Amino acid sequence: MKLSSAQVEQTLTQVEAQAIPDSHPMVQRLNDVFGDHTFFLDSDGLSIVEPSTESPREGSQARVVKLANWTDQNFTSLAPHDPVVTDTVVELVSKE
């Protein structure tokens, strides 16, 4: 799910992570591997948010999905794995 700037800001108020800017050189490679998403990095690794099927309104909630874990304590390398849907739910505003 590609998030609007308002949705990115709202997500960052609810989860402790950093959004990877679309202008970052790594984003094209991430899009090639995982699809067109807004990517986040945190102490666990790489994640995205996907619409929640339990959401009462379309697009109002999303779940954090983990895509890769750090392979070292210096946070310099990621190892991709099958997507893992977490219990973390974020409330989102409508896309701009």
pLDDT tens-digit series, residues 12-47 = 999 999 999 999 999 999 999 999 999 999 999 999
**Whole-model pTM?**
0.89
Percent pLDDT > 70 in the chain is: 92
User: In terms of pLDDT, which residue wins out, 56 or 7?
Assistant: 7
- What was the pLDDT predicted at 69? 97
14 DSSP assignment = T
Q: In what order do the strands lie in the sheet with 61-70?
A: 18-19, 40-41, 45-51, 61-70, 78-91
Q: Are 2 and 37 in contact (CB under 8 A)?
A: yes
pLDDT value at 57 more than 90:
no
Closest CA to 44 of 10, 1, 79: 79
Q: Are 90 and 1 in contact (CB under 8 A)?
A: no
